[in-house]
Chain A
Amino acid sequence: MLSLSPLLIGIAAAVACALPGNFLLLRRQALIGDAISHVVLPGIVAGFLLTGMVATLPMMLGAAAAALVSVALIETIRRLGRIEPGAAMGVVFTAMFAAGVLLLEQSAASGVHLDVQHALYGNLESLIWLDGYGWGALADPAALSTLPPELLRMGAVLLCVLLFIAVLWRPLALATFDEGFARSMGLNTGLLGLALVAMAALSAVAAFDAVGSIIVIAMFICPPASARLMTDRLGRQVAWSVLFATFSAVLGYSLAGYGPIWLGFANAVSAAGMIATVSGLILGLAALFGPCRHRRSGAMSG
């Protein structure tokens, strides 16, 4: 029962990142998850430094502000310097991450627990539900109130992402596969793309806070990429990616927690790292045996 809540948080984070990841992958914007998880660091640290505490709201606001700043910076640099978007992104996200690390190291002098390791690996293992002994606790309001707040937050974000994708399924699919056609149908594809990135940023920031940036980057790419090798249909691809994300989270978390003990070691290893590793293994298997792994001339249908 102790593990139930970190496991659920892990699954929610993985699925919330994998869902928008599907569309980003098909739109060849797969590295946006990577960029987002780098640029939010200075915002999170600034939110922490300004309020002086490890509270969620200021950090989330800081992260959102940093994401906005980075988008503005990338656009400015791209326009002013006539630089290709990939390079502009590379310049901005490395510089902002460096600024975040520098801020973090300065704040480390004050002795509060907020370090680079935490930002990278997250603290999935520590999100346990201390009062959750036995299934009975699920019916006990007092015990329920001590659920880690990350669980509720991550669940809410997952719900948002699900709603977004369910409501905008057809326009998203149209704009992803044939932007010109979608525009001729009267869809505002620019706005749609922006909304998708905003949704991705929302899940990235929420997952970043709960489980660290490694899972974010891995879950944005690995489950959708594996799913892409399994099927030609968008609906099935999304379903596969959710399955893969859930499977990675469950297997990764269990392996990290119990694997070393089975092997005779005393301590667990990083759950975030293990989840990423498992998702990579799945991708490897899909790349070797997936039924649709090869490039084909036929277009994919929605």
Chain B
Amino acid sequence: MIWDALGLQLGYNATLVTLGAAMLGMGAGATGTYLYLGKRALVSDAISHATLPGVVLGFIAMVVMGGEGRFLPGLMLGAALSAGLGLLAVTWLTARTRLHEDAAIGAVLSVFFGFGVVLLTVVQVMDTGRQAGLETFLLGATAGMLRNEALTIALGGAVILLLVRLLHRPMILVAFDPEYAVGQGMRLRAVDLAMMGLALGITVTGLKVVGLVLIVALLIIPPVAARFWSERAEIVVIIAGLIGGAAGYFGAALSATAPDLPTGPLIVLSAFVLFVLSLLLAPGRGVLAAALRHMRFQRRVHLRQGLLALASGQPVYEPLTLRLLRRAGFLRPDGVATDAGHAMAARARLDERRWQTLRSDPQFEAAAARYDGLTPLEEVLTADQIAALDRGLGLAGLR
């Protein structure tokens, strides 16, 4: 069943929903990267919670006008309007009062959401027959989704991806270095608005699939995960898009396999699994890579110190050092140095003596800064320079 779902074998509608969720995830991951790099990620939390009153008011308006209350584009329009109002409120509170952005975010988030809940209870008594299903906007549901709805979501995701592609340069500049961006003639407010507009678009598009409580996860988790894989912003955007897309795909496919598996949480948990994998496995910034690096460094230090001890005829007791020396063939099992061990120890001592001379010579100041007790001098100086250094050593020896 799971393989059928992942292989898109669960029928036309489920396939469409899965692809739509993947598209949405890609758009969300890419958009979220700019918010994350600009340290604005939590603003989207306010935006997403602020959609609730709009969704319910849109529903009420459509029912009052005698239409079908659950018409998705109408609900999305209402959501966009109230989310825009919420965004304005956050901006206004931050700019015009002494409150900080986090307080403004929390206030808007809770008040809009609370008001939305009030409206939801109004709808519950207003018309019991047709309202069933508005709650699915809280946590997302793909069960029983119409073909048009799935298409709308996929289209929304695609449009946002396209806009991200077009607006990449200004948004990345503003996220990284607003002052420089202004110097380049960019209008900060306009770019900021575009960034928030894209986040709003993702929220509104994702309402039906992920739900408004959790959509913010799709904007936050993929960029944070992608950040592990690269130091370059363009690449992070692409990887975040891929991670978001994968999360949308897996989450939607898994939720299609059973009736009581809610889509939104599954998509978010898929994203979280990808995040944990990135945290552990990414080269460079990942935990595993860091641990390996640490281990290699530790071994080099122990080996070097062991060789220096051998060179000066001191006994070695430290177990790790002993093990490393034996494994490298520098020490016999009974603790006596082999010929190779003597040779390496002599080399290590020579290297150390050269370094000491070098560090006391102001002429080699730049090279001396690279001393860490590990790097062989051959990696820092040319053969000629070392020869010159050795002459200094010889002279010192004569004196």
Pick the contact of B106: A108, A221, A287, A292 (CB < 8 A). Answer: A221
Within the complex, the shortest CB–CB distance from B223 to chain A, in Å, comes to 8
Known pairs A87-B41, A90-B41; A273 contacts B115 (CB<8 A)? yes
Q: B287: CB under 8 A from chain A?
A: yes
Q: What residues on B are CB-neighbors of A270 within 8 Å?
A: 117-118, 120-121
A222 touches B111 (CB 8 A): yes
Q: Is B265 an interface residue (CB 8 A)?
A: yes
Is residue A74 within 8 Å, beta carbon to beta carbon, of the partner chain? Answer: no
The answer to whether A280 has its CB under 8 Å from any CB of chain B is yes
Q: Total A-B pairs in contact (CB under 8 Å)?
A: 198
Contact of B114 among A30, A77, A81, A277 (CB under 8 A): A277
Decide yes or no whether A28 CB sits under 8 A from chain B: yes
Find out whether the CB atom of A120 lies under 8 angstroms from the CB atom of B117.
yes
Docked complex Cα distance between A287 and B272 (Å): 38
On chain B, the residues within 8 Å of A294 by CB distance are 96-98
Please name all residues of chain A whose beta carbon is closer than 8 Å to the beta carbon of B112 when the two chains form the complex: 280
B260 surroundings in chain A (CB, below 8 A): 105-106, 108-109
A28→B94 CA distance, assembly (Å): 13
Given known pairs A217-B110, A265-B125, A274-B114, the reply for A91 and B262 (CB within 8 Å) is no
Q: Answer yes or no: B58 CB below 8 A from chain A CBs.
A: no
**B 71-101 contacts with A by CB, 8 A:** 92-93, 96-100
Most chain A CB within a 10 A radius of its CB, from B116, B117, B260, B269: B117
Q: Is the CB–CB distance between B139 and A101 below 8 Å?
A: yes
Task: List, in ascending order, chain A residues with CB within 8 A of B170's CB.
Answer: none
B135: interface (CB < 8 Å): yes
Question: Which listed residue (B42, B113, B115, B221) contacts A95, Cβ 8 A?
Answer: B221
B266 at the interface (CB under 8 A from A): yes
A76–B285 Cα gap in the complex (Å)? 14
Give me 19 other A-B pairs in contact (C-beta within 8 A), A83-B227, A94-B217 excluded: A87-B220, A91-B217, A94-B216, A98-B217, A98-B266, A98-B268, A105-B260, A121-B117, A214-B114, A218-B110, A218-B111, A229-B98, A269-B121, A270-B120, A270-B121, A274-B118, A276-B110, A277-B118, A279-B111
30 residue pairs bridging A and B, Cβ less than 8 Å apart: A30-B105, A84-B39, A88-B224, A90-B217, A91-B220, A91-B224, A94-B221, A94-B268, A105-B262, A214-B110, A217-B106, A217-B110, A218-B107, A218-B114, A221-B110, A225-B103, A228-B103, A268-B121, A270-B120, A273-B114, A273-B115, A273-B116, A273-B117, A275-B114, A276-B113, A276-B115, A280-B111, A287-B93, A287-B99, A295-B98
Q: Which residues from chain B sit less than 8 Å from chain A, CB to CB?
A: 36, 39, 41-42, 45, 92-93, 96-100, 102-103, 105-107, 109-118, 120-122, 124-125, 135, 138-139, 213-214, 216-217, 220-221, 224, 227-228, 260-262, 264-266, 268-269, 271-272, 275, 279, 285, 287
